[in-house]
Amino acid sequence: MTTAPERAIRKLSITAARATDEREPDKRPLDIGLITRLFGYMRPYAVKRNVLLVCVVLRAIQLPSIAWTIGAVINGPITNHAKFENPVQAILLGALGLGLLALSTQVVFHFRQRLALEMGEAVIHDLRREIFAHLQQMPMSFYNKTKLGRIISRVTSDCESLRVGVQDVLFVSLVGILQMIVAGAFMLYSDAVLFSVVLAMSPVLFLLNRIFRKKLSAAYRVVQESFSRLTATLAESINGVRVTQGYVRQDVNAELFRELLDWHGDNVVRAVRREGLLLPLLELNSQIFIVALLLIGGYRVLNPATQMPVDNLIYFFFLANSFFSPIQILGNQYNQALTAMAGAERVFALLDRQPEWTDVENAQPLPPVIGHVELANVTFGYDPERPVLHEISLTAQPGQTIALVGRTGSGKSSIINLIARFYLPQHGQVLIDGHDTRLVSGESLHHQMGLVLQQNFLFSGTVKENIRVGRPEATDDEVVLTTLQLDCLDMLADLPKGLETQVGERGAQLSLGQRQLVCFCRALLANPRILILDEATSSVDTLTELRIQSALAKLLSGRTSFVVAHRLSTIRSADQVLVLENGRIIERGNHLELIALGGAYAGMVRQFSQG
Ligand SMILES: Nc1ncnc2c1ncn2[C@@H]1O[C@H](COP(=O)(O)OP(=O)(O)OP(=O)(O)O)[C@@H](O)[C@H]1O
């Protein structure tokens, strides 16, 4: 049983979730700049694009031509058979012509459809590749400020709406517009007055269509939103299932999920009802227009002043169908075009977004480093207005291990972020062998720096592939040698397929200890002069812990290392221990010196030993 306050809190959280969902605009007016830029992506496929445009033109002519041919056969050898020497032969010829025209229309339709799909796929493929490459070189500050969901939706839903824009909207609309022009020309030729009536009706039909479709797509957008909330909650619940079970929150979560399901169900029913009402109304609109045309046409046939031939009226009705049907489609396409525009604007805005900083012009490659690292009077804040590191100065001699210790939030990770040049300091310098890291090329810097982060990030793939990330060109023997050097080959060889074992998503199929060892091997294989290590806090069994400690000692030896240290063993053997508090170094020295000092560090170690 859930209590009333719990229910109230749940309701509140659902309402808040609905209300605070910052929406991005889902439509944007047509913008010739965006359309031209999108067209640019078709340039590499110019031959395909041109064949496609030919298909578009052919199809636009073919459809009204079919109506025209039917009208011509009815008006000619059928109605006026007396005027024909051999009307049966003329009808047969007409039917044959119509059959051939219909066949060629469908052949063109096949290629129009196929090439448009291929073109859309090619454009989106290239765009996605470009976005991904762009994302890879954005600095950390970008990821800090941009929500992951937003980035993912640029590559997924925005690119999808662009695909619809290219595959459907663009070419279908082109066919529709051209078809209307061709049908219009035939109609104008047949009866100018009746055509002007049709012309006057078209904007009304188009607008009605658009309004109805807009209402429909608004209803389906709400459905989409509730669905994505549902899937997000599902994913979160499954990821957090251990916490749920641990805190016996199954009922509460099930109730929350049920409420979301209800909400989604209501939205679906509302959208379906609206569709059930609007679509028949839409059809009725077109039929009312045909009724109006019939009235005016009938009047013009009967009125002696106008004397419109009845054959022309029949002929006109066939063409009217070719003229009106694209209007219905265009109303919908227009809505989709606006969605594609919104997607295009966001995608291009992301692509145009320049990293806040890149390598300086003429950045020199960092020469092979010896491993002297210095931070000179560094002040830094993720938000420049709120520094989290204040006037930090430190020097690491080549080969030294520097342990960074301090309470959570004291600035340890921020220091290693600056050494790795994931961020730039607002004041002061980070110097490697005397070179300001700001002035050297990022690539040459990162090649000479090894990184082992707390999350022990593993990519999907095998253990071996994950180790090889450190040096992709390393041979299998070198990988094995690395694991031997760290004395952990036996642990990895014990995995179901040894080094060929798939690690699963984010390394989920390996134990925490195994994941750490794989990351150590990766760093050792790269053999960097400078190593940055955010020691994992996760506890492992004593035996594994000893293996990790000994592997770590081997990994650190001989390199300049910065370790955000959590193990007393690591801290004890460090050449320098820097104690941080509120972004300042408050104590420095080696373990024994700091113990002798009897200050903050000595207090921490005391607590640690007691804990
Ligand atoms: N990406 C970020 N964006 C904005 N502020 C941040 C970011 N990362 C850290 N901070 C802030 O900077 C300060 C220092 O954080 P930092 O991560 O360097 O501490 P830490 O000592 O490494 O902590 P922990 O031991 O918990 O990892 C904290 O106040 C934190 O809130």
Please name the helix (run of DSSP H) or strand (run of DSSP E) that holds residue 278, with its range, or none: helix 250-302
Quick one: pLDDT at residue 506? 61
CA of 411 to the centre of ligand 1 (A): 6
**Domain spans in the chain, listed from the N-terminal domain onward:** 27-190+338-354, 192-307, 373-610
| C-alpha closest to that of 431 among 508, 376, 368, 364 | 376
pLDDT at 10: 46
Q: What's the pLDDT score for residue 427?
A: 95
* Torsion sign (Cα): 329, 332, 338, 344: negative
Handedness of CA 26, 29, 34, 38 (dihedral sign): positive
> Alpha-carbon distance 264 to 129, whole Å?
34
Q: How far apart are CA 443 and CA 555, in angstroms?
A: 23
Residue nearest atom 5 of ligand 1, based on CA coordinates:
382
For residue 409, is it left (φ>0), alpha (ψ between -120 and 50) or beta? left
Question: In what helix (H) or strand (E) does residue 282 lie, and over which residues does it extend?
Answer: helix 250-302
For the domain made up of 27-190+338-354, the CATH class stated in words is mainly alpha
Residue 454 CA: nearest ligand 1 atom is 27
Per DSSP, the three-state class of 441 is coil
Single-letter residue type at 578: L
Nearest CA to ligand 1 atom 12: 388
Q: Count CA atoms within 13 Å of residue 119 on its CB side.
A: 30
pLDDT at site 21: 47
Q: 0.80 exceeded by the pTM?
A: no
* Distance (Å) from CA 381 to ligand 1 centroid: 10
State whether the beta carbon of 362 lies less than 6 angstroms from ligand 1. Answer: no
> How far, in Å, from the CA of 379 to the mean position of ligand 1?
14
Q: How high is the pLDDT of residue 540? A: 67
Q: How far is CA 483 from CA 400, 519, 552, in A?
A: 23, 11, 12
How confident is the model at residue 17, as a pLDDT?
44
Per-residue burial over 504-533, b if 16 or more Cβ lie within 10 Å, else e, is eeebebbebbbbbbbbbbbbbbbebbbbbb
Which pLDDT score, from 0 to 100, does residue 359 have?
75
Ligand 1 neighbourhood includes 414 CB (under 6 angstroms): yes
Of the residues 143, 146, 385, 412, which should be mutated to test ligand 1's pocket, given the most ligand atoms within 8 Å of the CB?
A: 412
pLDDT for position 112: 92
DSSP 163-211: HHIIIIIIHHHHHHHHHHHHHHHHHHHH-HHHHHHHHHHHHHHHHHHHH
The 3-class SS string of 231-272 reads HHHHHHHHHCHHHHHHCCCHHHHHHHHHHHHHHHHHHHHHHH
Torsion of CA 588, 592, 598, 604, to 10 degrees: 80
Handedness of CA 591, 596, 598, 599 (dihedral sign): negative
Q: Mean pLDDT in runs of 10 for the chain (611 residues)?
A: 45 43 71 92 94 93 87 82 85 92 94 94 94 86 77 87 90 90 88 86 82 83 83 81 76 88 93 87 81 88 82 81 82 84 92 79 85 94 92 94 92 91 92 91 86 77 88 89 86 84 73 85 89 76 78 88 86 92 94 91 81 56
| Gap from CA of 382 to ligand 1 centroid (Å) | 9
Class of domain 373-610 (CATH, top level): alpha beta
Most ligand 1 atoms within 8 A of CB, residue of 413, 455, 532, 578 to mutate: 413
- For residue 116, the tally of other CB atoms under 10 A from its CB is 23
Query: Other C-beta atoms within 10 Å of 429: how many?
Result: 15
Strand, coil or helix: 391: strand
**From the CA of 388, how far away is ligand 1's center (Å)?**
8
pLDDT at residue 18, rounded to an integer: 46
* pLDDT score at 12: 39
